[in-house]
Amino acid sequence: MRPNDAGQVPAVVRLPETREVLAALAEYVAIPSDSRNASRETMREAAAWIAGRLGFLGARLEETAGNPVVRADWLGAPGAPTVLIYGHYDVQPTGRLEEWPSPPFELTVADDVAYGRGASDDKGPVYLVVAMLAAMFEQRGALPLNVRVLLEGEEEIGSPNLPGYVRSHADALACDLVVSADGAQWRPDEPSLSVASKGLVSCVVEVTGAAGDLHSGRYGGTIANPVHALAAILASLHGEDGSVAVPGFYDGVAPMTPQRRAEIAAVPFDDAEYAARIGAPGLSGEAGLSTLERLWERPTLEVNGVEGGGRYTVIPHRAAAHISCRLVGEQDPQHVLAAIRGHVEATAPAGVRVSVEQVGGAVPAYRIPDDHPALAAAAEALRTVYPGQEVLHAVIAGTLPATTLFEEVTGAKTLFFSFAHADENAHAPGEFLRLRRIPEGMRAWQALLEGLADGPHRLRRGGEQEER
């Protein structure tokens, strides 16, 4: 059975109502699958929940050294191409609870959005695909092409066990295209396709001094203070011009071409509106570049957090900072980490010890070529939902660790097809999903799968899809 076999299957699929999707998503969000902090039982519960919703495709949990992956396969369309749908069921830590408008694990509708940890990254976007597939399968008894599903539970901690799993299941994951339900459209009012994502490498810089905290009077002025040393180190990471001052950091970053600068300059972008929306007093970054150039084309080094001592009169004996770098082009994560380590060691003042330790996985940057046929199919699918609007080729300044891996193992490129948006407080308190994206996302996913199965942008299978 194929969807173009008119008469056997209904041409129009009735997609679920938004309220039905919200009711199901509320159950999913209620499982606090924070992969940094949750128990293995909680992670497994989240995996089992979404696998249960994919039962019609024979979904199951498969073990890894960490959290299980959710896998499903429907290969009932011989001769049609195969897509692997990727997403994740883990979520970020909540951050400070008092900064949430509602409890993070209670999906809460307010006006035209639904708040909850994972609503936007990535439980909401994944559930849209699942709900659409379920409706299509129930009403037609078939999907328009072969579908595999792989949902991991460690994306937010850098996917430490995904490489092992994918590499040892290369045959079972064979596909012509990976479609990622993770990522984000860059703006809620312009349909966009992401053609690249940034790499990521994180580390903790730790500075230690005396064996224990010391009275700030009785020892003050006589020994190096690890917080002072850490501050000096962190202050040295960027230059006056906002660039990263770590020697070797930019190795592998090609200069922007005049053509790319012109493309980006053509995208409407209002710095003042951007700053106002996030509540920042102003913008900042590398001198001589536009905000969008910094965001899409340049690597970054951000200190995500700092800790040491407390609000009492001591000289603390340790201080630490968590740093993450977003990478572009050919930057090698391990080279970047080594560059940071070398810089920290060279910058550390006397009287303290320093260490730099990698945290989580290391992921290089990724890019899908502008002329890949999946981009055309995806643009067409977006136009069916957002008629008359240009589809922008944007960059995901975030990191999707699976992309490089999938290409290595299956040879397939990854298309990002997400109905989350960059302003939805992913990774921060107050994460939300826009309600209108629920019907839009389901319709667009349906159009995408049908377009990849048939028509001018039909996906080439296996041997067909050769070097381009």
Q: Which of residues 246-275 bind a second copy (CB under 8 A)?
A: 274-275
Q: Is the Cβ of residue 50 or residue 234 nearer to a second copy in the bound state?
A: 234
Beta carbons within 8 Å of 109's beta carbon, 6+ residues apart? 22, 115, 435
**Least CB distance from residue 273 to a second copy, whole Å?**
13
Query: What's the rounded Cα separation, in Å, for the pair 297 and 107?
Result: 35
Binding pattern to a second copy, positions 349-388, x when CB under 8 A?
A: xxxxx-----x-----------------------------
**Least CB distance from residue 292 to a second copy, whole Å?**
9
Residue 277: what residue type? R
- Using the rule CB under 8 A, give the single segment among 69-77, 125-133, 146-154, 345-353 that binds a second copy: 345-353
**Least CB distance from residue 74 to a second copy, whole Å?**
32
**Least CB distance from residue 335 to a second copy, whole Å?**
19
Q: Residue 235's CB: how many other CB atoms inside 10 A?
A: 10
User: Contacts with a second copy in 390-449 (CB under 8 A)?
Assistant: 396-399, 422, 425-430
Residue found under tokens 């460690």? 154
User: Contacts with a second copy in 86-115 (CB under 8 A)?
Assistant: 92-93, 95, 99
- Collapsing DSSP to helix, strand or coil, 116 comes out as coil
Q: Is the Cβ of residue 26 or residue 359 nearer to a second copy in the bound state?
A: 359
Q: Is the Cβ of residue 93 or residue 163 nearer to a second copy in the bound state?
A: 93
Whether the CB-CB separation of 419 and 441 falls below 8 Å is answered with yes
Q: Is the Cβ of residue 170 or residue 254 nearer to a second copy in the bound state?
A: 254
**Least CB distance from residue 16 to a second copy, whole Å?**
29
Q: Is the Cβ of residue 131 or residue 395 nearer to a second copy in the bound state?
A: 395
Return the closest-CA partner of residue 434 out of 30, 117, 182, 114.
114
- Collapsing DSSP to helix, strand or coil, 57 comes out as helix
Q: Is the Cβ of residue 245 or residue 376 nearer to a second copy in the bound state?
A: 245
Query: What's the rounded Cα separation, in Å, for the pair 154 and 63?
Result: 12
User: Contacts with a second copy in 26-85 (CB under 8 A)?
Assistant: 36
**∠ CA 149-106-43 to the nearest 5 degrees?**
40
Binding pattern to a second copy, positions 285-324, x when CB under 8 A?
A: xx----x--xx--x-x-xxxxxxxxxxxxxxxx-x-xx-x
Q: Is the Cβ of residue 225 or residue 446 nearer to a second copy in the bound state?
A: 225
Size of residue set near a second copy by CB under 8 A:
93
**Least CB distance from residue 100 to a second copy, whole Å?**
10
- Taking each helix axis from N to C terminus, what angle separates 123-140 and 437-453, rounded to the nearest 10 degrees? 60
Q: Residue 62's CB: how many other CB atoms inside 10 A?
A: 14
User: Contacts with a second copy in 193-252 (CB under 8 A)?
Assistant: 198, 200, 202, 204, 209-225, 227-228, 230-238
Distances (CA, A) of 400 to 34, 315, 378: 17, 40, 19
Is residue 468 a contact point for a second copy (CB under 8 A)?
Answer: no
Residue 226: what residue type? P
Q: Is the Cβ of residue 311 or residue 468 nearer to a second copy in the bound state?
A: 311
Query: What's the rounded Cα separation, in Å, for the pair 366 and 373?
Result: 17
Residue 400: what residue type? L
Whether the CB-CB separation of 423 and 407 falls below 8 Å is answered with no
The number of residues in the chain equals: 468
**Least CB distance from residue 102 to a second copy, whole Å?**
14
User: Contacts with a second copy in 145-204 (CB under 8 A)?
Assistant: 156, 184, 198, 200, 202, 204
Q: Is the Cβ of residue 39 or residue 313 nearer to a second copy in the bound state?
A: 313
Query: What's the rounded Cα separation, in Å, for the pair 187 and 16?
Result: 25
Return the closest-CA partner of residue 368 out of 338, 394, 342.
394
**Least CB distance from residue 187 to a second copy, whole Å?**
11
Return the closest-CA partner of residue 297 out of 333, 263, 329.
329
**Least CB distance from residue 289 to a second copy, whole Å?**
9
User: Contacts with a second copy in 115-144 (CB under 8 A)?
Assistant: none
**Least CB distance from residue 153 to a second copy, whole Å?**
16
Return the closest-CA partner of residue 128 out of 447, 443, 387, 396.
443
Q: Is the Cβ of residue 175 or residue 352 nearer to a second copy in the bound state?
A: 352
Report residue 278: phi and psi, to 5°.
-95, 0
